[in-house]
């Protein structure tokens, strides 16, 4: 910017640099005493002691707080000339306009302090210099436009127009505030401008009376816009146009309204004058403090129009004119205080470059030519096209795979949910990390995320449940940090955790610790322990007993157990996929696969999936002291639980009994068991006979034990508890028992005769079965709602059991199961489980269908299409509490569609991991087995 302060004002590259921050240039000028003042001996109190400081000479006993010395960029005494003032600093600023930089020169001071005197001189010099520059630079094109406005009583008037109409201010997104319909005169030459200035000055004086010695109360703004073509570094036309405006602002007298001693119209004038000036003062004061917060530019016309010149894209000079007379001392001081403030204001001037259309076209043509040249040098190869296509195909496949995996995960989560629900496990009392492990393993993510939410569920179902209460307390490297302890929140402690710099992240949904696997690898992370105490074990006073649960983190797989961690609860997808199947239905290859799979994850005796392994397990059971020991929990009606799952049931501390499936461990309780036998259809001659124990007063109503144990139980029940079984309350149980005992007899006979029993022979002698069926179905539906039975179960049940006589046993057991659940399960837990499942189903819907299909379904279900939470709304509609069979039918179809189970032949295969195509009977049995295993 400095380069333009001489006689030459050449454009250089440096000046085109981005916004240039600088302070407002402030100069003070003392006018000489006029005759009147001299006559009145109203002498000067001010003296310029050097080029930058002006001091007040008189005694200030009346105003001890006022400063008596003021420093500015420059100060000028009585004998100074306007030319001096112009040359010293104002010229450089004013002529910035030639370099495409906006500039503004203000005159501020009280009436008759010399504002107009100074500004007219400055304007003349500046215009003369501008023309001089233009005349010396014939190689550049210049266009000059001149405008003049007056702001009087907050009205804007065009001084170049004779009609005197008031002009409106408009907001232009690029230029800021502009004056509408303002006359812009094209200047012919310097003299033309002088003429215009004269005219505008004459206009301004119209209406002023000869008596009005106090000069004008209006603000005058003269503007000269210079558009110039910018040269390139070779001196040629660069195609750019520079456009900038220099404003010469002669403000109205700065005295206050009260001092005008006027009334009526004059007072109004005074108010307006001050409104503009007061706003100017406020704006300057705010800007001088850094401009933080609201700057009230829009409070007056003056500040709106001058917004750019005040702390904006302009270089600015303020010339403070001062009356030296003693009688004006206070006003003079106010002027100097205003100037002091203005000194601290920063502006951000920048070169305003406008690209002409012609230049733009030229530039684009050049760019096009360059690209064409490049293309000629290296044409795109066919290879790259085919690579892109391959990549796209790969991407598509990966997306499909991802979707598949996501669905698998959702399904597994849903089963876990189901498992917990039917076992009456409250999510809150369930160790939260079971869910975490499950998620971790099923998602196969390398990054470990430990959520400190109340439960994992909260995160995913945020639309349906309250945000989680974050109240976790965690300990890393032995340092504990407590965060808002909350009774209901899980307390989580990470101990002996040697991963370096695990970092915490917090957001309003949940807290988590993320562990970068790279960090784990770097430190040869080997099975560091993380011990977790469940909420119940937490005691604020004592320190934590952290011996309850442990699990480990494996650098590759995340969580993994090994022999040191036998107590580690460990749940994964496969735990729920496993299902006992007939040998005939499994190929050897498949068996080998399954066995490898299990070897990979658990120890040999953990999971018994095939018949051989089941046999092995039974051998073990025979050896155990109690047939009901925890080891025996792994086999449930041919369905197996992995060891981890069993341990999850058996290893919980006594205080956590509600979060595990209670094991039968007392002989006394066995006596209460009613025994139902179920025959699993087999194609081999050797039928696999299993028994189901019904126990009313445990959390686990249906527990499966081995055949040997069953016989004992049957014996025990027959011998010792006959009266119990005959009691009226036990009637349904008796009936079922009878049925099954009959079946057993029938089966034994069948075995003896070498026949294969492929059916569940549970035929109840109902006289009018269809009526009974309808009633039972109604009761079941009611109970489903009351127990918040998962939709998948309902759907399967509804679609599978349609009223055949052989369904009666299933109907009865379902009724009993639900009655039990109704009495024992926590409604809140079920509700959460349901809500989760609903969300899951709805997610599936959203994923599976095209948007048009979705819209059709939504419409059919009466869900507003534009609804933000339509997924949740949809899920609420499914299986809403109703006994209306038509509605249920529709819902069943809907749910079936949602989870992709329209084809029943395929569904159980998917759902239960069957590797064969089942017959309808298989489906029913499989479904039933799965239901019971969940129970």
Ligand X SMILES: Nc1ncnc2c1ncn2[C@@H]1O[C@H](COP(=O)(O)OP(=O)(O)OP(=O)(O)O)[C@@H](O)[C@H]1O
Bind-site residues for ATP:
109-116
Q: How far is the CB of 79 from ligand X (least distance, A)?
A: 9
Q: Is 380 exposed, middle or buried (0-12, 13-18, 19+ CB in 10 A)?
A: exposed
Given 99, 112, 200, 829, the residue binding ligand X (CB under 6 A):
112
Q: How far is the CB of 116 from ligand X (least distance, A)?
A: 3
- Would you state the structure tokens that stand for residue 742, as one six-digit string? 């009959």
What is residue 257's DSSP assignment?
G
* Nearer to ligand X (CB atom), residue 208 or residue 721: 208
Task: Pick the piece of the chain touching ligand X (CB under 6 A) from 112-120, 237-245, 689-697, 840-848.
Answer: 112-120
- Would you state the structure tokens that stand for residue 198, as one six-digit string? 């004269």
Cα–Cα distance measured from residue 408 to residue 573, given in angstroms and rounded to the nearest whole number = 9
Q: How far is the CB of 77 from ligand X (least distance, A)?
A: 10
- Would you state the structure tokens that stand for residue 445, as one six-digit string? 């993510």
Q: For the CA atoms of 59, 62, 63, 67, what is the dihedral angle to 10 degrees? A: 0
Q: How far is the CB of 85 from ligand X (least distance, A)?
A: 9
Output the known binding site.
109-116
* Nearer to ligand X (CB atom), residue 115 or residue 744: 115
Q: How far is the CB of 238 from ligand X (least distance, A)?
A: 42
Cα–Cα distance measured from residue 555 to residue 198, given in angstroms and rounded to the nearest whole number = 86
Size of the site for ligand X (CB under 6 A): 15
User: Which 3 state secondary structure label does DSSP give 28?
Assistant: strand
Q: For the CA atoms of 673, 674, 680, 684, what is the dihedral angle to 10 degrees? A: 80
User: Which 3 state secondary structure label does DSSP give 435?
Assistant: helix
* Nearer to ligand X (CB atom), residue 34 or residue 52: 34
* Nearer to ligand X (CB atom), residue 83 or residue 557: 83
Q: Which of residues 3-42 bind ligand X (CB under 6 A)?
A: 31-32
Helix, strand, coil in percent for the chain, rounding step 5:
45, 15, 35
Given 114, 490, 502, 750, the residue binding ligand X (CB under 6 A):
114
Cα–Cα distance measured from residue 131 to residue 145, given in angstroms and rounded to the nearest whole number = 13
* Nearer to ligand X (CB atom), residue 252 or residue 894: 252
* Nearer to ligand X (CB atom), residue 111 or residue 300: 111
Q: How far is the CB of 148 from ligand X (least distance, A)?
A: 15
Q: Is 396 exposed, middle or buried (0-12, 13-18, 19+ CB in 10 A)?
A: exposed
Residues 474 and 493 sit within 8 Å (Cβ to Cβ): yes
- Would you state the structure tokens that stand for residue 638, as one six-digit string? 């041919």
Q: How far is the CB of 123 from ligand X (least distance, A)?
A: 13
* Nearer to ligand X (CB atom), residue 107 or residue 581: 107
Other CB atoms within a 10 A radius of the CB of residue 666 amount to: 10
* Nearer to ligand X (CB atom), residue 186 or residue 265: 265
Q: How far is the CB of 117 from ligand X (least distance, A)?
A: 3
- Per-residue binding letters, 168-207, with ligand X (x by CB under 6 A): ----------------------------------------
- Per-residue binding letters, 200-239, with ligand X (x by CB under 6 A): --------------xxx-----------------------
Given 89, 117, 282, 355, the residue binding ligand X (CB under 6 A):
117
Q: How far is the CB of 152 from ligand X (least distance, A)?
A: 13
Distance of CA 499 to the CA centre of its chain: 28
Cα–Cα distance measured from residue 669 to residue 472, given in angstroms and rounded to the nearest whole number = 39
Cα–Cα distance measured from residue 765 to residue 735, given in angstroms and rounded to the nearest whole number = 11
Q: How far is the CB of 54 from ligand X (least distance, A)?
A: 14
Q: How far is the CB of 252 from ligand X (least distance, A)?
A: 6
Residue 678, beta-bridge partner list: 690
* Nearer to ligand X (CB atom), residue 74 or residue 793: 74
Given 113, 442, 534, 713, the residue binding ligand X (CB under 6 A):
113
Q: Which residue is nearest to ligand X (CB)?
A: 215
Q: How far is the CB of 31 from ligand X (least distance, A)?
A: 3
Q: How far is the CB of 82 from ligand X (least distance, A)?
A: 7
Given 111, 313, 423, 674, the residue binding ligand X (CB under 6 A):
111
Given 56, 70, 98, 115, the residue binding ligand X (CB under 6 A):
115
What is residue 165's DSSP assignment?
P
DSSP 48-97: E-SSSEEEE-S--TT-TTS-SEEE-SEEE-TT--HHHHIIIIIHHHHGGG
- Would you state the structure tokens that stand for residue 355, as one six-digit string? 């690209």
Cα–Cα distance measured from residue 460 to residue 835, given in angstroms and rounded to the nearest whole number = 11
Cα–Cα distance measured from residue 895 to residue 898, given in angstroms and rounded to the nearest whole number = 5
* Nearer to ligand X (CB atom), residue 113 or residue 691: 113
Residues 605 and 620 sit within 8 Å (Cβ to Cβ): yes
What angle do the packed helices 920-934 and 791-800 form, to 10 degrees?
150
Residues 144 and 128 sit within 8 Å (Cβ to Cβ): no
Distance of CA 853 to the CA centre of its chain: 29
Q: Which of residues 370-389 bind ligand X (CB under 6 A)?
A: none
Given 3, 5, 71, 116, the residue binding ligand X (CB under 6 A):
116
Given 15, 45, 109, 924, the residue binding ligand X (CB under 6 A):
109
End-to-end C-alpha distance for the chain, whole angstroms: 84
User: Which 3 state secondary structure label does DSSP give 110?
Assistant: coil
Given 100, 253, 627, 701, the residue binding ligand X (CB under 6 A):
253
Q: How far is the CB of 289 from ligand X (least distance, A)?
A: 28
| Nearest of 151, 111, 200 to residue 302 by alpha carbon | 151
What is residue 307's DSSP assignment?
G
* Nearer to ligand X (CB atom), residue 97 or residue 320: 320
* Nearer to ligand X (CB atom), residue 109 or residue 701: 109
Cα–Cα distance measured from residue 137 to residue 48, given in angstroms and rounded to the nearest whole number = 40
Other CB atoms within a 10 A radius of the CB of residue 590 amount to: 14
* Nearer to ligand X (CB atom), residue 201 or residue 480: 201
Q: How far is the CB of 118 from ligand X (least distance, A)?
A: 6
* Nearer to ligand X (CB atom), residue 32 or residue 920: 32
* Nearer to ligand X (CB atom), residue 215 or residue 408: 215
Query: Can you point out the beta strands (E) in 153-236?
Result: 155-158, 166-167, 169-172, 176-179, 185-186, 219-231
Residue 146, beta-bridge partner list: 185, 224
Is residue 270 part of the contact set for ligand X (CB under 6 A)? Answer: no
Residue 243, beta-bridge partner list: 227
Q: Please write down the long-range contacts of 763-772, taking CB distance under 8 Å and 24 or more positions apart.
A: 763/739, 763/805, 763/806, 763/808, 763/809, 764/735, 764/739, 764/808, 764/809, 764/812, 766/805, 766/808, 769/803, 769/805, 769/808, 770/803, 772/808
Q: Give the residues lining the site for ligand X (CB under 6 A).
A: 31-32, 109, 111-117, 214-216, 253, 321
């Amino acid at each position: 910017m400095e380069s333009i302060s001489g006689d030459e004002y050449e454009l250089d590259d440096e000046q085109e640099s981005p916004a240039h921050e600088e302070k407002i240039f402030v100069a003070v000028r003392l006018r000489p005493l006029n005759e009147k003042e001299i006559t009145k001996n109203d002498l000067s109190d001010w003296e310029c002691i050097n080029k930058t400081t002006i001091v007040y000479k008189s005694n200030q006993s009346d105003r001890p707080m006022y400063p008596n010395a003021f420093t500015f960029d420059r100060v000028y005494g009585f004998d100074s000339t306007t030319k001096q003032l112009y040359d010293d600093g104002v010229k450089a600023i004013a002529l910035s306009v030639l370099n495409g930089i906006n500039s503004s020169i203000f005159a501020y001071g009280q009436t008759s302090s010399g504002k107009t005197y100074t500004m007219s001189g400055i304007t003349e010099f500046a215009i003369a210099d501008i023309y001089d520059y233009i005349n010396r630079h014939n190689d550049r094109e210049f266009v000059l436009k001149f405008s003049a406005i007056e702001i009087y009583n907050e009205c804007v008037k065009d001084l170049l127009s004779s009609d005197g109409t008031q002009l409106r201010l408009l907001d232009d997104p690029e230029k800021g505030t502009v004056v509408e319909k303002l006359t812009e005169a094209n200047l012919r030459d310097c003299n033309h401008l002088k003429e215009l200035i004269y005219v505008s000055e004459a206009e301004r004086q119209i209406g002023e009376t000869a008596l009005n010695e106090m000069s004008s109360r209006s603000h005058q703004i003269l503007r000269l816009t210079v558009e110039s073509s910018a040269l390139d570094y070779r001196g040629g036309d660069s195609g750019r146009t520079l456009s900038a405006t220099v404003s010469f602002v002669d403000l109205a007298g700065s005295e206050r309204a009260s001092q005008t001693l006027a009334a009526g119209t004059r007072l109004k004038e005074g108010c307006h004058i001050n409104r503009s000036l007061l706003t100017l003062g406020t704006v300057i004061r705010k800007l001088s403090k850094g401009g933080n917060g609201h700057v009230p530019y829009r409070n007056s016309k003056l500040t709106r129009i001058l917004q750019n010149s005040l702390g904006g894209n302009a270089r600015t000079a303020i010339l403070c004119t001062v009356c030296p007379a003693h009688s004006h001392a206070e006003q003079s001081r106010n002027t100097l205080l205003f100037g002091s403030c203005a000194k601290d204001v920063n502006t951000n001037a920048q070169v305003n470059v406008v690209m002409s259309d012609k230049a733009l076209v030229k530039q684009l043509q050049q760019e096009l030519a360059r690209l064409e040249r490049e293309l000629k040098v290296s044409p795109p190869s066919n290879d790259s096209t085919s690579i892109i296509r391959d990549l796209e195909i790969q991407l598509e496949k990966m997306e499909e795979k991802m979707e598949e995996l996501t669905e698998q995960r959702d399904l597994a989560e849903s089963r876990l949910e189901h498992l917990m629900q039917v076992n009456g496990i409250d999510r809150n009392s369930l160790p939260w990390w079971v869910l975490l492990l499950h998620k971790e393993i099923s998602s196969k993510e390398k990054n470990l995320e430990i959520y400190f939410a109340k439960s994992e569920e909260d995160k995913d179902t945020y639309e349906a449940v309250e945000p989680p209460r974050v109240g976790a307390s965690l300990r890393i490297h032995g340092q504990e940090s407590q965060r808002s302890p909350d009774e209901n929140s899980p307390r989580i402690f990470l101990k002996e955790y040697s991963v370096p710099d695990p970092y915490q992240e917090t957001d309003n949904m949940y807290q988590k610790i993320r562990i970068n696997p790279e960090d784990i690898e770097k430190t040869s992370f080997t099975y560091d322990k993380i011990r977790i105490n469940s909420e119940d074990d937490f005691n604020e006073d004592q320190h934590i007993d952290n011996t309850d649960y442990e699990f480990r983190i494996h650098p590759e797989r995340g969580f993994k157990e090994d022999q040191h961690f036998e107590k580690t609860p460990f749940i994964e997808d496969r735990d729920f996929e496993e299902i006992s199947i007939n040998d005939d239905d499994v190929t050897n290859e498949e068996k080998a696969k399954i066995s490898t799979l299990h070897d990979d994850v658990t120890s040999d005796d953990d999971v018994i999936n095939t018949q051989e392994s089941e046999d092995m397990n039974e051998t073990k059971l025979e050896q155990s002291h109690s047939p009901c020991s925890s080891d025996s929990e792994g086999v449930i009606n041919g369905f197996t639980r992995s060891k981890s799952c069993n341990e999850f049931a058996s290893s919980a501390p006594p205080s956590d009994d509600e979060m595990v499936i209670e094991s039968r461990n007392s002989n006394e309780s066995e006596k209460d068991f009613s025994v139902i036998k179920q025959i699993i259809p087999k194609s081999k001659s050797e039928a696999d006979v299993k028994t189901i124990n019904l126990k009313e007063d445990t959390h686990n109503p249906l527990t499966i034990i081995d055949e040997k144990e069953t016989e004992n139980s049957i014996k025990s029940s027959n011998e010792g508890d006959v009266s119990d079984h005959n009691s009226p309350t036990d009637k349904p149980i008796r009936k079922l028992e009878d049925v099954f005992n009959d079946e057993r007899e029938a089966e034994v006979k069948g075995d003896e005769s070498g026949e294969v029993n492929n059916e569940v022979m549970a035929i109840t002698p109902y006289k009018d079965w269809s009526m009974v069926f309808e009633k039972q179905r109604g009761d079941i539906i009611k109970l489903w709602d009351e127990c918040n039975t998962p939709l998948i179960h309902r759907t399967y049940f509804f679609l599978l059991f349609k009223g055949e006589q052989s369904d009666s046993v299933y109907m009865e057991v379902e009724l009993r199961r639900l009655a039990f659940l109704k009495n024992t399960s926590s409604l809140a837990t079920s509700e959460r489980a349901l809500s989760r499942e609903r969300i899951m189903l709805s997610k599936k819907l959203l994923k599976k269908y095209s948007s048009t299909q979705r819209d059709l379904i939504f419409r059919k279900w009466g869900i507003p299409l534009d609804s933000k939470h339509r997924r949740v709304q949809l899920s609420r509609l499914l299986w809403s509490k109703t006994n209306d069979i038509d509605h249920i039918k529709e819902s069943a179809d809907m749910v079936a569609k949602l989870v992709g189970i329209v084809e029943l032949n395929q569904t159980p295969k998917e759902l239960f991991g069957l590797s064969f195509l089942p017959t309808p009977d298989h489906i029913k049995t499989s479904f039933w087995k799965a239901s019971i295993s969940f129970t």
